[in-house]
């Protein structure tokens, strides 16, 4: 559509007759929203750009733009304008610029801006309506750092969060994460190479910086290890983005006396960023996880929330190995050189590492019974606990155990799937790997899903209460600005 006018007077006369609002597509969308019970205002001139539809309570501004006037596919369409180019091209480009400025001004004031082309509504109204409903019911968003395979992410997702962005540098994990989180963007760079400006805004940041530097079993170099220093990359991004909350998870070894000074330094860094910081040593077995697994959880709430995180109480129910893996049958040993069986498995990932047991491994009992919780699932197949079908190992002398004679065939490592079950991953969560050791590593480094879920539910509730309080505060402020209503005299 291109208008050709002989005179500017004729052009002005025609332009006045063209509808700028209450177009047919706009009315279509309004009717659809009204049918869904959505309350809105039309052509709200008190906001930048006078949005066609405004959902004031949700702070959502909707524009229904005409293709010609607002520059649909402008680079392409611009070339097709033949008549009155000196008039139309500058005019439409001014409109495009004004639209961008209105978007920016609205977003600065905390509004969510939605723009539809008229043809979008005419051709696919249900999709447009669905988009508006998704924004109305918008879930809180998190950024996931040091993501691993996504145990923490899955827990938060089950609690109603969206994972807006995940970051994982280990290429052996990428296929697993992408398969199980197809809607989440995965940044594969080293976190040290990611500018904060390239990370989207979100309600929270979660993650577990590498724990090897703090592990009781490891060298324990703490901040003297390059992996230990990655904690400060987490802090850098937190400082630059300033979300409402953060959650960091790490091993209990960070509380050892040799690390205490460094741990206090990390806590003080968090506190200096305007957060109320809470931390606690928790055992996952107290939170619906069939495993003894002690971890430090650090949660910070931005001071503008006016509160600190209170850790949820233990669930009061202990889940056993029988509950978790008692129904899993027909596991398979890994192939030669501990390669995966992959397509030959009836149950995905239900395969176990083969090979001997080290003297360190044989220095302790590695069997927990069916009625107990598992030992900690570690990030390595060589250290995987023994299946509970086997008798507990026999004590010979200090730092030396042996398998019960005649029962040696029962002593096998837990399979990758059994470890995943103990970490409370659902069977629908598939781990992709060629070397079975990578499967054990992904599972063992993860935060147990159900443990993450309980923490995430508490955070979600606190966020909801905080945002509800803001909404009520805004309504109260508006009520103060309204003129008083006086009763009419009955005299």
**332 vs 435: CA distance, rounded Å:** 14
Domain range for 397: 321-445
Among 169-178, 380-389, 459-468, the minimum mean pLDDT is found in 459-468
Q: Pick the catalytic residue: 211, 226, 337, 419?
A: 211
List the single range of 11-25, 360-374, 386-400, 402-416 with lowest mean pLDDT: 11-25
Q: Are residues 277 and 325 in the same domain?
A: no
79, pLDDT greater than 90:
no
Is the domain of 180 the same as that of 307? yes
Same domain, 331 and 369: yes
Torsion of CA 330, 333, 334, 336, to 10 degrees: -140
Tokens of 59: 């702070």
Q: What is the pLDDT of residue 487?
A: 44
Q: Looking at the domain assignment, is residue 337 inside a domain?
A: yes
Within a domain: 112:
yes
Residue ending a domain, choose from 317, 348, 363: 317
Residue 111 is assigned to a structural domain of this protein: yes
Is residue 92 within 8 Å of residue 72, measured between CB atoms? no
Kindly report the CATH number assigned to the domain that includes residue 296: 3.40.50.150
| CB-based contact 340:334 (threshold 8 Å) | yes
Establish whether 211 is a catalytic residue.
yes
Pairing type for strands 141-145 and 162-167 reads: parallel
* DSSP β-bridge partners for residue 280: 297
Residue 466 in any domain: the answer is: no
Q: Report d(CA 55, CA 63) in Å as an integer.
A: 12
Is 269 domain-assigned?
A: yes
Token readout for 141 is 């968003």
- How far apart CA 238 and CA 231 sit, in angstroms, is 11
What token pair was written down for 170? Answer: 């280990």
Same domain, 212 and 283: yes
Q: What pLDDT, on a 0 to 100 scale, did the predictor assign at position 5?
A: 47
Instruction: Quote the CA–CA distance of 425 and 429 in Å, as a whole number.
Output: 6
Backbone angles phi, psi at 154, to 5 degrees: -65, -40
Q: Is the pLDDT of residue 479 over 80?
A: no
Both 108 and 171 in one domain: the answer is no
What CATH number corresponds to the domain at position 91? 3.40.960.10
Domain boundary among 300, 317, 334: 317
Domain membership of residue 489 (yes or no) is no
How many separate domains does the chain show?
A: 3
Q: What is the pLDDT of residues 102-121, one digit of tens each?
A: 988 988 888 889 999 999 99
Where among 87, 104, 136 does a domain terminate? 136
Identify the three-state secondary structure at position 54: strand
Q: Among candidates 44, 443, 375, which has minimal Cα distance to 217?
A: 375
48 and 197 housed in the same domain: no
Dihedral of alpha carbons 219, 237, 155, 460, sign: positive
Q: Are residues 342 and 256 in the same domain?
A: no
Given a cut of 50, whether residue 491 has pLDDT beyond it is no
Average pLDDT over residues 237-257: 94
At residue 224 the predicted structure's pLDDT band, cuts being 50, 70 and 90, is low
> Comparing 229 with 164, which gets the higher pLDDT?
164
Tokens for 95?
């409109």
Q: In terms of domains, do 105 and 153 share one? A: no
Q: What is the DSSP letter of 178?
A: H
CATH number, position 362? 3.90.120.10
Say yes or no: 365 and 428 in one domain.
yes
Distance between CA 303 and CA 45 in Å, rounded? 35
| Same domain membership, residue 335 and residue 248 | no
The answer to whether residue 12 is domain-embedded is: yes
Residue 474 has pLDDT above 60, yes or no: no
Looking at the fold, whether 309 and 327 belong to one and the same domain comes out as no
Same domain, 174 and 284: yes
Distance between CA atoms of 118 and 90, rounded to whole angstroms? 22
């Amino acid at each position: 559509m291109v208008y050709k006018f002989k005179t500017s007077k004729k052009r002005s006369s025609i332009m006045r007759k063209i509808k700028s609002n209450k177009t047919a597509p706009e009315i279509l969308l309004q009717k659809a929203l009204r049918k869904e019970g959505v309350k809105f205002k039309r052509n709200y001139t008190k906001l930048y750009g006078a949005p066609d539809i405004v959902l004031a309570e949700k702070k959502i501004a909707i524009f229904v733009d005409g293709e010609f006037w607002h520059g649909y596919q402008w680079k392409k369409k611009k070339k097709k304008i033949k008549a009155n180019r000196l008039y139309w091209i500058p005019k439409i480009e001014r409109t495009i610029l004004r639209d961008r400025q209105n978007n920016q001004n609205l977003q600065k004031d905390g509004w969510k801006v939605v723009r539809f082309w008229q043809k979008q509504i005419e051709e696919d109204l249900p999709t447009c309506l669905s988009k508006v409903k998704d924004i109305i019911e918008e879930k809180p968003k998190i950024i996931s750092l040091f993501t691993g395979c996504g145990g923490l992410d899955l827990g938060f997702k089950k609690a109603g969060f969206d994972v807006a962005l995940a970051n994982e540098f280990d290429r052996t994990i990428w296929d697993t994460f992408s398969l199980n989180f197809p809607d989440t963007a995965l940044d594969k760079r080293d976190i040290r190479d990611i500018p904060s400006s390239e990370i989207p805004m979100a309600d929270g940041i979660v993650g577990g910086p590498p724990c090897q530097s703090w592990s009781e079993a490891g060298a324990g170099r703490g901040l003297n290890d390059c992996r230990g220093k990655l904690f400060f990359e987490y802090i850098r991004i937190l400082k630059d983005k300033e979300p409402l909350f953060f959650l960091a998870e790490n091993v209990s070894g960070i509380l050892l006396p040799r690390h205490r000074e460094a741990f206090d330094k990390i806590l003080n860094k968090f506190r200096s960023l305007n957060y109320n910081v809470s931390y606690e040593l928790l055992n996952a077995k107290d939170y619906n996880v069939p495993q003894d697994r002690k971890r430090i959880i650090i949660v910070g709430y931005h001071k503008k929330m006016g509160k600190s995180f209170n850790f949820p109480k233990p669930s009061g129910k202990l889940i056993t190995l029988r509950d978790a893996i008692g129904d899993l049958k027909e596991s398979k040993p890994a192939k030669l050189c501990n390669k995966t069986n992959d397509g030959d498995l009836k149950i995905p990932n239900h395969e176990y590492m083969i090979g001997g047991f080290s003297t360190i491994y044989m220095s302790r009992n590695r069997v927990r019974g069916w009625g107990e919780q598992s030992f900690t699932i570690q990030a390595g197949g060589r250290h995987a606990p023994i299946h509970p079908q086997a008798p507990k190992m026999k004590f010979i002398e200090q730092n030396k155990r042996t398998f019960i004679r005649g029962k040696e065939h029962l002593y096998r490592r837990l399979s990758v799937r059994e470890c995943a079950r103990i970490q409370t991953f659902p069977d629908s969560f598939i781990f992709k790997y060629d070397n079975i050791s990578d499967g054990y590593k992904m599972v063992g480094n993860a935060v147990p899903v159900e443990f993450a879920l309980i923490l995430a539910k508490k955070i979600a509730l606190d966020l909801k209460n905080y945002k509800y309080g803001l909404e009520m505060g805004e309504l109260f402020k508006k009520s103060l600005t309204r003129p008083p209503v006086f009763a009419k005299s009955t005299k």
